[in-house]
């Protein structure tokens, strides 16, 4: 089992953020986590990452039950990618070359100053960049990359550590259509690999749920509206309830497209 949440409830300052959440991700499954802003998506991620502790309920990730395991060890097997991660590199390591950013993923670090790397690490970093179609950017400072290129480099960084679980928190935020589709294409290629980690893709844009994602979980106001195979979950009714507007979903080549009717 990759992730297992049992009756997870979380209250903060008297406000219920998550209520009786049950979620299982099995090996071979890639999940899309969908919901409007403020629905509890980020809180769920923080609980899976071990940065927040539920008020009650059980959390197990990669066979480790939280509260009875070494969290540092667990986190080394989880990769996290978000638009905000790029901002952290901009703040402190904007002039780091793309290859250095990727290498930092081996230790889940921001920067490479406090770690040693081998020639094999250098070769692996180049391989990761090549996988995501950005080897030509290896010697370009991170600050000089486009936003889409930065996200690809961060994906390569995430895979550098050979994670068993990859969490993608709205990675297409701020990208134009071309940048978004290029990034999604790279994700598809990763997800089809035999050695791909399990993926959780967080978004409120249904059209970003690619064929490589097998399952979906829809949340609203901290509760689970539906969970299961994506075509059974991403329905007109469920998305209408989630976003509180009349939604119509059409499927093209295994990819959903949403319009308000």
What CATH number does residue 32 fall under?
A: 3.40.50.300
pLDDT attached to residue 82: 82
Residue 19, helix vs strand vs coil: strand
pLDDT attached to residue 205: 94
pLDDT attached to residue 249: 98
> Strand 198-203 to strand 165-169: parallel, antiparallel, or no bridges (unpaired)?
parallel
In a domain, 22, yes or no: yes
**Tokens for 228?**
């299961």
In a domain, 165, yes or no: no
The range of the structural domain enclosing residue 58 comes to: 1-71+200-261
Residue 100 contacts residue 156 (beta carbons within 8 Å): no
Q: What is the rounded CA–CA span in Å between residue 255 and residue 221?
A: 26
In a domain, 4, yes or no: yes
In a domain, 238, yes or no: yes
The whole-angstrom distance between residue 224's C-alpha and the CA centroid of its chain comes to 18
User: Angle at Cα 201 formed by Cα 52 and Cα 163, nearest 5°?
Assistant: 75
Q: What is the rounded CA–CA span in Å between residue 177 and residue 175?
A: 7
Integer-rounded Cα Rg, in Å, for the chain is 18
Residue 241, helix vs strand vs coil: helix
Q: From the CB of residue 95, how many other CB atoms can be counted at a distance below 10 Å?
A: 10
- Profile the chain (261 residues) by mean pLDDT over runs of 10 residues: 97 93 96 95 94 95 95 89 73 78 82 75 90 90 89 89 92 87 89 91 95 97 97 98 97 95 92
- Residue written as tokens 């406000």? 15
- Residue written as tokens 């919901």? 35
Q: What is the pTM of this model?
A: 0.90
Phi and psi at 66, nearest 5°, equal -65, 135
In a domain, 77, yes or no: no
Q: How long a stretch of residues is the chain?
A: 261
In a domain, 116, yes or no: no
Torsion of CA 46, 172, 236, 227, to 10 degrees: -30
Q: Please choose, from the candidates 185, 209, 189, the residue with its C-alpha nearest in 3D space to the C-alpha of residue 257.
A: 209
Instruction: For 185-233, write each residue's pLDDT tens digit.
Output: 989 988 988 889 999 999 999 999 999 999 999 999 999 999 999 999 9
In a domain, 194, yes or no: no
In a domain, 16, yes or no: yes
Q: How many domains does the chain have?
A: 1
């Amino acid at each position: 089992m990759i992730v297992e949440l049992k009756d997870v409830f979380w209250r903060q300052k008297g406000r219920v953020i998550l209520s009786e959440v049950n979620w299982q991700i099995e090996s071979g499954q890639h999940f899309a986590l969908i919901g409007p802003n403020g629905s509890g998506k980020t809180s769920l991620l923080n609980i899976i990452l071990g940065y927040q502790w539920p008020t009650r309920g059980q959390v197990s990730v990669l066979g480790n039950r939280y509260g009875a395991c070494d969290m540092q060890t667990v986190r080394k097997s989880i990769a996290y990618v978000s638009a905000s991660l790029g901002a952290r590199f901009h703040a402190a390591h904007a002039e780091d070359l793309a290859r250095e950013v990727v290498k930092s993923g081996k230790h889940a670090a921001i920067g490479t100053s406090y770690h040693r790397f081998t020639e094999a690490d250098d070769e692996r970093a180049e391989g990761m960049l090549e996988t995501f179609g950005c080897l030509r950017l290896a010697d370009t400072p991170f600050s000089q990359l486009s936003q889409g290129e930065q996200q690809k480099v961060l994906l390569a960084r995430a895979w550098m550590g050979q994670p068993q679980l990859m969490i993608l928190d709205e990675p297409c935020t701020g990208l134009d259509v071309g940048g978004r589709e290029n990034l999604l294409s790279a994700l598809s290629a990763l997800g089809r690999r035999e050695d791909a980690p399990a993926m959780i893709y967080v978004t409120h844009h249904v059209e970003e749920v690619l064929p490589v994602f097998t399952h979906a979980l829809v949340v609203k106001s901290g509760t689970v509206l539906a969970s299961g195979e994506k075509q059974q979950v991403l329905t007109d009714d469920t998305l209408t309830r989630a976003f509180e507007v009349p939604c119509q979903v059409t499927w093209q080549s295994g990819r959903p497209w949403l319009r308000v009717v």
